[in-house]
Amino acid sequence: MKTVSKHFKFINSKTGNAIYYHTLDGDLSEDEIKQALEKVKAQVATQYEVFLDTIYWEEEKEEKEHHQ
């Protein structure tokens, strides 16, 4: 059985722009996901020279496309 991945985007709250995207294994526990996302958030803040508290993440939900 294939594991479903979870996709997240990191957003600069001052601009509203997504500045980074990250994918995690869907089999991780909620605590493991939060730990991993906090680590990525710190790396993104450093990379983009943005205050840590300015960045937040959202899970991207896959939308099914409807073709006619």
The pLDDT profile of the chain, 68 residues, written as one tens digit per residue, is 567 899 999 999 999 999 999 999 989 999 999 999 999 999 999 999 999 999 999 999 866 544 44
Spell out the long-range contacts of 2-8 with Cβ–Cβ below 8 A and sequence spacing 24 or more: 3/27, 6/33, 6/59, 7/59, 7/60, 7/62, 8/37, 8/40, 8/57, 8/58, 8/59, 8/60
What token pair was written down for 25? Answer: 């294994």
pTM confidence score: 0.83
Q: Are 58 and 11 in contact (CB under 8 A)?
A: yes
Beta-carbon-side half-sphere exposure of residue 15 (alpha carbons within 13 Å)? 9
